[in-house]
Structure 1
C-alpha cells in the first residue's frame, strides 16, 4: 500500500505507570488495521515526551528498540500538552497520510480508532472523537464543562461539545492546521477553523488506567481562560458594557446625593461610600487584568520564540524507507 500511512501521536508527561498498557493497546489497534489493509504497513506510534521527570523517555526508547512501529521524540523541557501535540503532528505530517492524536492515559476509548479510519476512507478529512456521556466526571466538572461550552458558543467560538484532543486529521487538514502560527495554542478551537469535511465518532470515556491526572483544577481553569482569550474579544466588550453601566449608576447616585443635600437630608454615608469604593475597585482590577491578559498574549506572539525544542527523535530515521 503506497498510501494510507497512519501515525498515532501520543503526548506523554510522567506516564511511566500507564505507558506499557498504552503501547500494548495502541499496538494491537495498529496491527489489526494493518492486517485489515486499511492502513500502510509502515504506520507508526509516535510518543512525544513533554519533559517528563520519571522514566517515560527510557521506556519509549526501550519499546522503540524492540518494535519498529514505535517511535518517539523528546523535548528539552516541559512545553505543555498542546505544544506536544503540535510537535508530533509537525513531524508526522512529512510522511503520513492521516494522523490521530490521543492522550496516553487510556481514558479515550482506543477502539474508536477503527471508526475514525473508516470515516477517513469515506472521504472525511477531520474526524472528532466525541464522548457520549460524562458519567465518569464529578458533578462539578460535568456542569462546569457544559457551562463552558455554552459560554464559548455565545462568544462565537465554534467548539465541538464533549470533544477534546482525540481526533483524526488527514494530511492536508494537518498541513492547514500547522499553517496557523500563533503560540497561544487552543487546538480544539483551531481545528474547526480549517473548514474541511468533518465527522464525529462517539465513544464512552473511561477512568484513567493508571497514574494521576495532569490537569488539576487550577490548570483546567487556566486552559479554559486561555481558550476564551485566544479566540474571542467578547471579554473586552463586556468590560466596555460594565464601564457604561457603572458610569450611569454613578451619575444617578450623584444626582440623588445633590437632591438630598438641597433638601437638607444630609446623613453620614460611610457604608455606602465603602461599598462604592470596593465595588469600583473590584471592577477596575478585573478590567485591568482582562486587558492585561490580551496584552500578555500579544507580547508572547510578537517575540516569535520557538514553540518547542527537541532534544532527541528517531521518527525520521525509521521513516527513511518511505522517503526513498
Structure 2
C-alpha cells in the first residue's frame, strides 16, 4: 500500500457481495491502473456475513492499492460511506456501489470534468433507468421530486451515490456534527460548485440487491426528517384540520338538535372520533420520529465502528484465513436455522 497521498480514492461500500465481487475486481483493476495516477480503492465491508471480506483480503495480496476497511457490525449504506469519507486520503474521492449498475468506466469522465470545469462536485446522473423495475423508477421519481421541493432546486434529479468530490468537500462533510447523514442531500446542501455527467444505468452484474423496499423507505424517511421540519408543520396543519372538523361536527349536531331531527348518530359519532383519533396518532407518530432522532443524538454513540483497516496492518494474511473460517461458520449457522 502506498504511503503518499493518492490523487484518487474510490470508496465502495459492500455488504454480502461475494457473487459480484470477482466481476467487480476484474473490471475495476485495469480501469484504475489505466488512469495513470496514484489511487486507492477503499472497500468498506459493512459487516458482511459471507466471504466478501476474505476474498478482498486475498485480492489485496496482488493489488497493493486495494484497501479493505471492515466495520464491526452492519451499520448501513450511508454509515459505510461515512467511514469511507473519514478514511480516504485522495485529493478526489469517488463513491460507487459494487453491483456495477453504475459503470466504473465513467470515473475517468468524472475526474476529467472536475478538472476541466474546476468544480468540487461532479454528479453521475442516470439518463436511462430502463434496467430498473417500474416500481423502483416510480418510487425514485417521487423521492427526487419530494426532496427537490424540500431541500431546493440544487438537488440533481436522478443522481444517486455515484459522484466525485474534491478534498474540500470531503473535509467539509467530515466536519459536520450530525450523525445519520444522507449524502445525496448533504453534498448538494453544502453548495460547492458542481457539474453533471450523464450515463446509462446497467443491470446488476451478479447477485441480488441488498437495498430492500424497507431500506428504501427508511432512506426516504431519514432524508425527510433530517433535512426538513415539514412533517412537524404537517402535524400542526393536521391538528388545525382536526380542530375545524370537530367544530363542524359540533355545529352540525347542535343544528340537528335545535331542528328537532335528532336521531341516534352512532355512525357519525364513530366517524368523527375515528377521524380525529387517526389525526392525533399521526401527529404523535411524526413528533415521535423527531424525538427519537434527538434521543439518538444525545447518546453520542458512533455511527459505525471500524474493526480492521488493511492500511494499518498490511500483509496480515492470517486475517484472511480467520475471515474464511468465520464466513464458513456463519453459512453453516444459517443453514442450520433454515433446516
Query: What is the TM-score of this pair, normalised by structure 2?
Result: 0.88
The aligned counterpart of 2:111 is 117
Partner of residue 258, structure 1: 254
Q: Which residue does the alignment assign to 1:209?
A: 205
Q: Runs of at least 4 residues of structure 1 off by over 6 A?
A: none
In 2, are the aligned partners of 1:184 and 1:297 still within 8 Å (CA)? no
* TM-fit CA distance, 1:154: 2.0
Structure 1 stretch 54-63 or stretch 151-160: which is displaced more? 151-160
- Tell me how far apart the structure 2 counterparts of residues 89 and 33 of structure 1 sit (CA, whole Å): 21
Q: Which runs of 5+ in 2 are unaligned?
A: 315-339
Query: Aligned partners of 2:139 and 2:304: how far apart in 1?
Result: 31
- SS of residue paired to 1:199: strand
Aligned residue in 1 for 2:22: 20
Aligned to 1:156: 151
Cα offset for 1:3? 7.4
Q: For 1:1-324, list aligned pairs within 5 A.
A: 5-34=7-36, 39-40=37-38, 43-92=39-88, 95-122=89-116, 123-157=118-152, 158-316=154-312
Offset at residue 23 of structure 1 (A): 1.1
- Specify the SS of the correspondent of 1:117: helix
C-alpha displacement at 1:144, in angstroms?
A: 2.1
What do the CA deviations read for 1:208-228 (whole angstroms, capped 9, x no partner)? 111111111111111111110
Separation in 1, partners of 2:105, 2:276: 54
Q: Which runs of 5+ in 1 are unaligned?
A: 319-324
- Is the contact made by 2:238 and 2:283 (CA closer than 8 Å) also made in structure 1? no
Question: Per-residue CA shift, 1:35-70, capped at 9, x if unaligned?
Answer: xxxx32xx1111111000000010110011111111
**1:217–1:48 distance in 2 versus 1, CA, 3 Å:** same
Kept after mapping to 1: 8 A contact 2:10/2:42: yes
Most deviating of 280-289 and 100-109: 280-289
- Give the secondary structure class of the aligned counterpart of 2:11: strand
* Native 8 Å contact 2:46 2:75 kept in 1: yes
Q: C-alpha separation between the residues in 2 aligned to 1:280 and 1:245?
A: 9
| Residue in 2 that maps onto 1:321 | none
Alpha-carbon distance in 1 for matches of 2:158, 2:170: 21
Task: Report the TM-score, using the length of structure 1 for normalisation.
Answer: 0.92
RMSD: 1.5
CA contact (8 A) 1:29 1:113 kept: no
Pairs aligned (count): 309
Deviations 1:155-211 (A, max 9, x none): 235532111111111111110111112112211100012221111111111111111
